[in-house]
């Protein structure tokens, strides 16, 4: 699954309460995405690495962009984006 890339001006983030805290999300193409992380524009490789890693775990991902930063969003059904990546990261360090 290839991450969708949208200009930040075309999305409308909203706040919701979930997993014991207030989180940020967007609704795009019949899917709710929750906010994962913001990256400066010079960290583009990390943005794509994270997005494709989450996509590889079966979660839809979205990248929103401005002139100076990227935000990564993941399907709201992914409880913990970094926990979802942990088995993949551990296997890379063990082998």
Q: Per the domain annotation, does 87 fall within a domain?
A: no
Global confidence as pTM: 0.83
Hey, what long-range contacts does 4-10 have (CB within 8 A, 24 or more apart)?
Answer: 4/28, 4/29, 4/60, 4/61, 4/62, 4/63, 5/62, 5/63, 5/64, 5/65, 6/62, 6/63, 6/64, 6/65, 7/64, 7/65, 7/66, 8/64, 8/65, 8/66, 8/71
Residue 85 above 90 pLDDT?
Answer: no
Q: What is the pLDDT of residues 40-56, one digit of tens each?
A: 999 999 999 999 999 98
More confident residue, 84 or 65: 65
The CATH number of the domain where 27 resides is what? 3.30.200
Q: Is residue 64 part of a domain?
A: yes
Residue 27 lies in a domain: yes
What is the total count of domains within the chain?
1
Structural domain of 42: 4-81
Any bridge partners for residue 12, and if so which? none
């Amino acid at each position: 699954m290839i991450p969708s890339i949208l200009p930040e001006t075309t999305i409308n983030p909203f706040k919701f309460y979930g997993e014991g805290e207030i989180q940020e999300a967007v609704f795009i193409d019949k899917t709710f995405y929750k906010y994962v992380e913001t990256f400066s524009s010079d960290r583009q490789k990390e943005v794509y690495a994270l997005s494709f890693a989450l996509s590889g775990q079966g979660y839809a991902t979205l990248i929103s962009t401005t002139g100076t930063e990227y935000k990564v969003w993941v399907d709201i059904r992914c409880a913990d984006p970094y926990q979802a990546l942990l088995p993949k990261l551990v296997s890379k360090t063990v082998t």
